[in-house]
A and B are shown apart, each in its own frame.
Chain A
Amino acid sequence: MNMAIVNKIWILGGWFYLSLTAAIILFFISPKKIKAYISRGIIIFAAIVSLYLSYKEIAKDTGQIRAFFRPIDEKIEMTTAGQASFATHLRKILPADATGCIYWSWDLPTLYLQKELYPYIFAVIQRATFSDCRFVISQFNRLVDPRLRLTDSYQGNYLYEVID
């Protein structure tokens, strides 16, 4: 029973809240001169902890820092999995009144392509129901469906026209 209470306090408080409680009690019972030292010590310690944690996080990101020196277009292409140039390509070849669907492939690239295609409105579909689509875009995967005619392909991405 007693161990259960101790465990509960430890889970809820952990070293973070328990040490905070201890520091507050210590502060209130300390003479005025000591209080000033406690406050200063806390700030300096907290700054060192932040510095250390940030250093650790930045050290994990050294690859990112090296990537800074790459050409901007390359950084954009790498991050967007080639969808930035695919969107530019589609905007060039799509008829002005084109509408259609993007077949869901991979969350962020699909949302990104949908955003980049504006003012073309392309709805995202997750199943092969092409009834409301004039064009269908498939990222990274070739679709095989008798209702679709391949109109264009660009670096592993495909544009289809739906056959009536």
Chain B
Amino acid sequence: MWTLDLLISLLVILSFLQIGLLIDYYLITRRLLSFNLAVYFGLGLGFVAILQMIFGILAIPTTRYLVILATIITLVPIFVDRRLKKQLGDLTAKSLKKIKPQHVLGILTLLIFFVTVGMITFSHPVWGYDATQHWLAKARAFWIDGGITRANLFIYPPPDNPNLWSLNAAWIFHLLGKSSDFWVQIIPFTVLVLLVGEFFRIVAVSKQLIWAWVLLLMFTPFLWQTVSSKAYSGNADLLVSFYLFLATGALVNRRLVWGAIFFGLSALVKNDALPALIGFCLLLPIFSLQKKEKFPKVALILAIGLLLFNLGWKFYFGLGNRYLQNDWSQVLRQRPILEYTWYSIQSFREQFRFLFHWGIGFWVIFFFLITRFRRILRNKWLTLSLILIAAQFVGYIWVYYVTGEDQASQIATSIYRLVLQVYPALLLLAFTVSKYESSREFPTQFGYG
């Protein structure tokens, strides 16, 4: 029985990748395959969630048959579209040819690492607070009720939390025919594999210290523990981390359409990512005001569209916002803003040096961002990326100020998860500034294409 469940779970992963591939191939790159599994997976998860959200608005039930049909349909073009089939075959062969005998040790390390993390992950089901009382509880409700309804959005508070993770978990439940807190872990596990894989693709272009950078990321203790630990494996923070990483990678490479999509999707995972999306919408026009460059209309429309969809969704279902609907006079009177902000900053300072979560990852990030600061200023997309991550921190500190809970206890139970959201993106920026002297040296599609 478990073999069937495993096969179905793998089929779901394949269908997410396939959905992303089709979106990228037919809608974004216009029939020019880029073969980027992390991007495909991100797009696939996002599409499945948005589709179910639209079904929720239109009151169309998501049934098991519909999910099976959608999964089968996504697999058809690869057999029918000859051009797609040829490109996929060529790119797969090209990728395999790149593997040289000197890569064996590195590949073996990757394999041992992922097998070990996989074994720890699948030695238990999800067993953590946030997942049990919120994310997977909602997923089970969406699965049983056949999608989002006005009622089930409010069962597991807070209702204003976005639903991308729960909807993707519900999608897997539909195919499995049961709500399984065990098999659902295949999604975060795949995210970890693809996150490391994508980082490898980007770093590999530099041809220097490739493995050192990759090892630094993948062996960061809290990154893999978020997947392998039963307390965290059902949380949504790794997905935010994944999307912010993809968005930053896209932005640094001037793939603004992808950047817009991934910032938009990150905010559909958790409200925590809204500052980056809002910042992107506000700053993209300013950063694009140069005569020589074409104004990124499509990217801006997509980002604003996803932001309005996100906010419109909350408004349509009357979900409110627990942080905006505060009694501000009470907050300002009871909480001295400077002291509270200072306390949050000090907590982040402490968190960055917490070795058993981050190794010396933040040491490396600070070193490269400070010593190469002029490089960041010389490249406007690097500057924008850094500003958006800074906006994330401003958002976190603001939430710690206005939270209805005790600030210290909220920080103690969430700060490491928030830091995880930006860690891979920051490491990517650190790598980028460590390698390229000026904007002219940036390969136009490094890591992509």
Q: Which residues of A are interface residues toward B (Cβ below 8 A)? A: 12, 14, 16-17, 19-20, 23-24, 27-28, 39-40, 42-47, 49-51, 53-54, 57-58, 61, 64-68, 70-72, 75-76, 78-80, 84, 107-108, 111-112, 114-116, 118-119, 121
Q: A42-B367, A108-B132, A118-B137 are in contact. Are A75 and B124 (CB under 8 A)?
A: yes
Does B140 have its Cβ within 8 Å of any Cβ on chain A? yes
A46 touches B363 (CB 8 A): yes
Interface string of B220-236 (1 = CB under 8 A from A): 11001100101000000
B356 touches A23 (CB 8 A): no
Whole-angstrom CA separation of A24 from B5 in the bound complex: 52
Whole-angstrom CA separation of A159 from B444 in the bound complex: 65
- Identify 24 residue pairs between A and B in the complex whose beta-carbon atoms are under 8 Å apart, listed by A's number: A14-B353, A16-B353, A16-B360, A24-B371, A27-B371, A40-B209, A43-B216, A43-B364, A43-B434, A45-B360, A47-B219, A49-B360, A50-B221, A54-B220, A57-B356, A68-B123, A70-B123, A72-B5, A80-B127, A111-B129, A115-B136, A118-B141, A119-B141, A121-B155
Closest chain B CB from A82 CB (angstroms): 13
B230 touches A79 (CB 8 A): yes
Does B133 have its Cβ within 8 Å of any Cβ on chain A? yes
A58 touches B116 (CB 8 A): yes
Q: A51-B219, A64-B120 are in contact. Are A20 and B367 (CB under 8 A)?
A: yes
Q: Which of chain B's residues have a CB closer than 8 A to the CB of A115?
A: 132-133, 136-137, 140
Whole-angstrom CA separation of A43 from B430 in the bound complex: 11
Q: Which of chain A's residues have a CB closer than 8 A to the CB of B108?
A: none
A79 touches B125 (CB 8 A): yes
Q: Which of chain A's residues have a CB closer than 8 A to the CB of B35?
A: none
Q: Which of chain B's residues have a CB closer than 8 A to the CB of A64?
A: 119-120, 123-124, 228
B364 touches A46 (CB 8 A): yes
B125 touches A80 (CB 8 A): yes
Closest chain B CB from A29 CB (angstroms): 12
3 nearest CB pairs, A to B: A16-B353, A50-B219, A50-B359
B360 touches A46 (CB 8 A): yes
Interface string of B85-128 (1 = CB under 8 A from A): 00000000000000000000000000000001001101111011
B367 touches A24 (CB 8 A): yes
A75 touches B213 (CB 8 A): no
Whole-angstrom CA separation of A54 from B127 in the bound complex: 22
Does B212 have its Cβ within 8 Å of any Cβ on chain A? yes
Within 8 A of A (CB), among B1-31: 2, 5
Closest chain A CB from B437 CB (angstroms): 12
Q: Which of chain A's residues have a CB closer than 8 A to the CB of B127?
A: 79-80, 108, 112
Interface string of B179-221 (1 = CB under 8 A from A): 1011000000000000000000000000011011101100111
Whole-angstrom CA separation of A39 from B371 in the bound complex: 10
B215 touches A47 (CB 8 A): yes
Whole-angstrom CA separation of A50 from B220 in the bound complex: 5
Whole-angstrom CA separation of A17 from B365 in the bound complex: 12
Q: Which of chain B's residues have a CB closer than 8 A to the CB of A61?
A: 120, 228
Q: Which of chain B's residues have a CB closer than 8 A to the CB of A16?
A: 352-353, 360, 363
Whole-angstrom CA separation of A27 from B123 in the bound complex: 46
Q: Closest residue to A71 on the B side, CB-wise?
A: B2
Whole-angstrom CA separation of A51 from B141 in the bound complex: 40
